[in-house]
Structure formats: C-alpha cells, structure tokens
Amino acid sequence: MSLIFKPNASRGALLPVAAGTALVLVTYVTPMATLAPTSEDLGAGTVSGAWILSAMSIGLAGALLAGGLLGDRVGRRRVYVGGLLAVVAGAFACAVAWDPWILVGARVLQGAGGAAVLACGLAILAHSYPSGRERVHATAVWGACVGGGVAGGSLLAMALDVGTGWRENYVAVAVVGTLLLVPTLRGVPETRAGVARRIDVGGLALLIAGMVLLVSALTQVRDGVGVVAAVLIVLALMIFVALWAVERRAEHPLVDPDLLRHPSFLATTFGALTLGVGMIGMASFLPTVAQAGFGDSLRMASVPPLVWAVTSMSASLALRWLPLPLRGPLPIAALLALTAAGMITAIGADSTVQLLVPMSLTGITTGLLNAILGREAVAGAPPDHAAMASGANNTARYLGAACGITLFAVIAANTGGDITGGWTNAVLTAACITLLGAVSIAALAVLRTRRHVHI
C-alpha cells in the first residue's frame, strides 16, 4: 500500500471537509459586507480598509501550495486540522481587534489556515472517493460548499447586523470552527504520499514571499501607484525571476513537471485564475455599488451576492445529474464564455433589483465551474500529489481573486464619472477578461488535440 488509506473507513470525510470548506468561504467574504462598520469602529482609513479586504487573500495566495505540499508529505488530516485551528484563532483575534492593523494580521492568519483547509480538504476527498460517480458526487458537494460559504457569509452579515455590526461575525466563525474539530478528527482519515517527496524549501520560501509581495502590491495600488506600490511590484518581480531560476535547477520542483504538461491541470489552473479575476472580482464589489451607488441598506445590498451564491451551490450539486460528463478543457472554456455572457447582462443596471437576473445566470455557470474545477484539479494528478495539485489550483483562484478585486475597485472608482458608471466599465472589463480566458483554454485544447492526432 502506498497510502495510509482505508476506503471503507473514509466515507465520513465528506461532511466535515465540506463544512470546513464552507467556513473558510464564510469568513473570506465577511469584510466585503461589513467593511463600513468595521472601518468606522476601528478608525480605518482608505489604505487600511483596502488591506482589511485583501488580508485573507494574502494568506491564501502565500500558503495554498505550501499547505498542499506539506499535506502530501506529513499528512493531510494533520495539516487540515492545523489550518482549521488557525482559522479559529484568527477569528478570535479579529473579534477582539482594537486596531485595523491587528485585524489585518489576524486575517492573514485566517488566510494561511484557510489555505491548508482548502488544499488538503479537496485532496482528502480525492482519496476518500477514488473514482466514478462517488467522486463526482463528492467534488460536486465540495464545489457547492464554495458557493454555500459565500451565501453563508452574506446571510451571516445580514443576520448579525446588530451590536458592532462586524465583531459578531468573527465570533460565530470561531465558535463553528471549534465545533467542527471533533467531527473532523473522528471522520477524516489520515492520508499522505507513500513516497515522501522532498520539499524544495528555497523555492517554497521564494514563492510565498513573491505571492505575499504581489498581493500586497495589488492592495496598495487601490490607493494609487505610489512609491510603496512600485517598490512592492519591483520586489515581487525580482523574487519571481529568482524563483524561476531556482526551479529550473531544482531536483524536486514545487510543481511536478508532468502536471504542467497535463491538459486538464493547465485548463483547471488557468480556469480558476480567470474565474477569480472576472466573476469573483465583480461579486466582491457588488455590495459596495449597491450601498454607495444605489443607496441601499446592507441587507438589500447582500441579496444579489446571496442569490449568486445559492444558485451556484444548487448548480454544483446538480452536476451529478447532468447527462453529459463535462470533462476536460472544452467544458471549462464553454462555461467561462457563458459566465462572460451573464456578466454582460449586468451592464446598465441602475438598481440592486436589476442585478438579480445577471447574478442568477452567472451563479449557474460559476457553480458548475466550481465542481468541475475541483474534480479536474486532482483528476490528472497522481495520488501522491493530490494536495499539491489542489493547492496549485486554489492558489490560482485566490491570486486571481486578489487581482480581480483590485482591478474592479480601481476601474469602478476612477472611471465613468461616478461609482455606477465606473461599475459598468468594470463589469465590461471583467467580462472581456473572462471571455479571453475561455478562448485561451479552448485554443490550448484544440492545439493539443491536433498535435496528438499529428503524432
């Protein structure tokens, strides 16, 4: 046996892993709906407010691949539980924060913990449900929990719009995360790579530093391209050049070179990046335009993202009943193109109600993409590298989200004359990026097919 894994004992993993995944997304979206009361309570300015929004993305982007590599080597349940503990500790720290930068630090800790949960959780399901309809079901539930977590975050913000209007959200996350520890320890099996793969410590350190600097630069750009942003960008580029040089000579590179030649892995990674830049960027900014542009309350502003998330969750769960298998790069490209079309229907909206249809349409395609990307991310990876593949895929998603949130905010705030005009320009830009990603994935699939036929 190459894995510490008993198939019949592993079926209890689905519910705790699904709940942990949803919890990470719940706390990920919390500041998007509660930034106004948070900033008022802590005296956060424009810069610190931008960092509050992006802090968890910094932790996620920096630690996702690291969490996957560590899970493959030292045990996926061990790393998963450590990640869940970090989410809980970070939530408690957020709840008692008295300074915006303490909140930022706690959110980074939550991001690092969430990275371990997301990377190792999907890998645990890949081993617990090795193939066939059971894996389709498990990854569909995992994808649904991505949307369900976003919905849960919106509902939590609406339900706990009392007291401070934001601390209560973090207390709830901390309590739920603590309660999840027992079923996780009881129901999740320990799995790890049979042959321990050496971790490229130097490359991993460069990757984490580069990711953190890049997302930090994107965050700083929201306040204008000043000296700090320029320095961060230059440092990030220098580190990524150094990473490229190190990985070329590494005996055990961070990402298995065989994975980089696998069409499904490439399609899912680029698809996750595109989804993050386009749709997640748009959904993240929607509460802002609803409140600042349309004059709605927090509860009303949370409705369209909630509709999007619930529709997404339903579509993910429905994937297992579709007659078509939806495997490989082309379905990913097609769903991204349909997502772009749904995004375009939001152009010209002048009220929050008019955004319900666009968010429903994009919810369907996003939900299907979440389930397919989760399944395909580990489908082409050897069992020993499942967490690494999951970590790489989720890194692309949340790096894309950090880029998309920044791009959307900059365009919406600085073009169009007012925030609603800027929103229209930002939606059009995000839709074009999503369509470009779809065309690129389709072209890659066609080129590889022709090359294979020629050979």
With a CB cutoff of 8 Å and minimum separation 6, the contacts of 310 are 147, 151, 363
Question: How far apart (Å, rounded) are the C-alpha atoms in residues 76 and 345?
Answer: 42
8 A C-beta contact, residue 215 and residue 265:
no
8 A C-beta contact, residue 287 and residue 301:
yes
Question: How far apart (Å, rounded) are the C-alpha atoms in residues 211 and 65?
Answer: 11
> Residue-wise pLDDT tens for the chain (455 aa)?
333 334 434 457 778 888 898 899 888 888 877 777 888 888 877 777 777 877 888 788 778 777 877 887 788 888 999 999 999 999 999 999 988 889 999 999 999 999 889 888 877 887 777 666 777 777 777 777 777 777 777 677 666 666 667 888 899 899 999 999 988 888 888 877 666 566 777 777 887 788 778 777 777 776 666 788 788 888 989 988 888 888 777 776 766 666 666 677 778 888 888 988 888 888 877 877 887 788 877 678 778 888 888 888 888 877 777 766 677 788 889 999 999 999 999 988 888 888 999 999 999 999 888 878 877 766 666 665 666 666 777 778 877 877 787 788 778 877 877 888 888 898 999 999 999 999 998 887 776 655 554 44
**Domain range summary for the chain, segments of one domain joined by +:** 7-199+252-454, 200-251
pTM for this predicted structure: 0.76
Q: Which helix (H) or strand (E) holds 49?
A: helix 46-74
CATH topology of domain 7-199+252-454: Growth Hormone; Chain: A; (1.20.1250)
